[in-house]
Each structure stands twice: as structure tokens, then as C-alpha cells.
Structure 1
Amino acid sequence: MKFAITLLAGPQDPAARSALEFARAVIESGHQITRLFFYRDAVQIASHLGVQPQDEQDISLQWREFIAAEQLDAVVCIAAALRRGVLNEPEAARWKKPVANTGAPYDLSGLGQWVDALQTADRAITFGT
């Protein structure tokens, strides 16, 4: 079965962990994830600049490692990212910002990527509100 997963919850929201655990279970069960789409506050998960207290797990790092290890298609909504200061190198240059704070394994793109994922998936799952 092919799953498209969208995450709306930021890194502090328990839904971010639930989504990661679900995604891991999908892969472990032999199913496929056609696309992960990070939207609204979830775009903050793609930032490489967040720092977690030593007694907390780094959900952003865990997502990044999972996506890279499984070679998943992970798209960050560009409009939501720009509003929240999550920029890759081309966008940082475009907006004349001094630093980029996201990159591989994430791609910044539009909401059309989510619509495209819905066309190829058997199931669409959303985490967060």
C-alpha cells in the first residue's frame, strides 16, 4: 500500500512524534511512502538550527535521519516555510537573508506537491491540526 503523509504539527507537538512512529511502521510493514509533506508549523522540523534541551529527544534530527536512511521524498511547503523563516540556500539568496537553515533531505516546494502525492497514494494520512 502507498501512503502520502502530511504533518501540520511543529516539533514540540506530540503529533510530530506520532507521525514519525507511523511512518516508521509503514516502512517496517513493507508498505511505501510516496511523499511526506510538511505544512504549517511542521515546516520548523526541517530547520537545522533548532536546539533541544539535553534531556529531550531531537525530533527534527530523528525525522532528518529517517528520511535520509529511507530515501523518502520529503517536501516542505515553501509558503509556510518562508513565513516561519525556514529557508534553503536559493531562497535565502533570493530574499537576501544571511543564512539558510534547511536543505537535504528536504525540498521546498508548493502545495501542488501534496495534491500530486494524493493522486498516486492509496491512503492519505494527516497528523496535527
Structure 2
Amino acid sequence: MTLSYCLLVTGPAYGTQQASSAYQFAEALLAAGHRLSSVFFYREGVLNANRLSAPASDEFDLVRAWSELAQQHHVTLNVCVAAALRRGVTDEHEAREQGLAAANLQPGFTLSGWAPWRKPHSAATAWYSFKR
């Protein structure tokens, strides 16, 4: 039986285990043939969408990994717009609106509110939260 999942990630890409655990869980459920419909990044989790993160060459690039997972498996990666702007993560539209010099949202991620996450969340078989 194929199950449908949604994930909530509130931990940053680096410095804690939450986002890495969420990513590993996502890979495992996809490998098992389940569906991951949506991942919502909130609070410090929005830092997973910062394309300006530059891990050392011998470290796992979690930001890029999320982006590749989304592309390969058609997973929606929503980033809370309010939390992102507070932490300096923005797309082209918000950068213009806020008068910022540049955008830094990693491809594959979308700034949004809670609404786009609610529909897949309510239809999911299960949802998991990866937070502190």
C-alpha cells in the first residue's frame, strides 16, 4: 500500500540534526515506494532554502540535496515567507518588493504561506515534524 506523506522541517540545514534526519526520512520513504507530497520549511528550517550556503567540499550539501530530491520526485518544497524574510532568504519577487539587493532562494523551493501546505497536509496519510 502506497502512503502519502508531508513533512514539516524547523531545523536549519547545518548545526543541528533535524533537517538531515528529515531528508534521510524522505529518501527512505520514497525508496520504499511511498509518496512525499510536500515539505514545509518553517522557523530556522527556512535556512535549508538558502542557495548561498557553502558547505566544505567534504561535507554533504543538504540545500542542493533537497533541491535535487524535489526535482527527481516532484516534491513541493514550500518555505514560510515570513520566517524566510526574517532570516534573509528571499526570491526575486520579494527582493524587489522589499528593496533588497538580490535573491538567494535555492531553485526548487517556493516562498509561501501556510495555505499551500494545508491541502496536501490534509490529504496525506501521515505527516511528520522534524524540529527541536
TM-score for both structures, normalised by structure 2: 0.92
Aligned length: 129
What amino acid sits opposite 1:43 in the alignment?
A: V
Deviation at 1:125, TM superposition (A): 0.3
For 2:68, what is the secondary structure of its paired residue? helix
Q: Distance in 2 between matches of 1:79 and 1:113?
A: 14
**Partner residue, 2:73:** 70
Q: Distance in 2 between matches of 1:117 and 1:40?
A: 20
For 1:9, what is the secondary structure of its paired residue? coil
Deviation at 1:61, TM superposition (A): 1.3
Per-residue CA shift, 1:40-92, capped at 9, x if unaligned? Answer: 11111111101112232111111111111112111001111010010000000
What amino acid sits opposite 1:20 in the alignment?
A: Y
1:16-31 equivalent positions in 2, closer than 5 A: 16-31=19-34
For 1:85, what is the secondary structure of its paired residue? coil
**Partner residue, 2:86:** 83
**Partner residue, 2:125:** 122
For 1:119, what is the secondary structure of its paired residue? helix
Residues 1:2 and 2:4 aligned together: yes
TM-score for both structures, normalised by structure 1: 0.94
Does the 8 Å contact 1:34/1:120 carry over to 2?
A: no
Unpaired runs of at least 5, structure 2: none
**Partner residue, 1:32:** 35
**Partner residue, 1:61:** 64
Q: Distance in 1 between matches of 2:6 and 2:59?
A: 28
Question: Hey, which bits of structure 1, 4+ residues long, moved more than 4 A?
Answer: none
Larger mean CA deviation between 52-61 and 94-103 belongs to 52-61
Aligned residues: percent identity?
32
Deviation at 1:103, TM superposition (A): 4.7
What amino acid sits opposite 2:87 in the alignment?
A: R
Unpaired runs of at least 5, structure 1: none
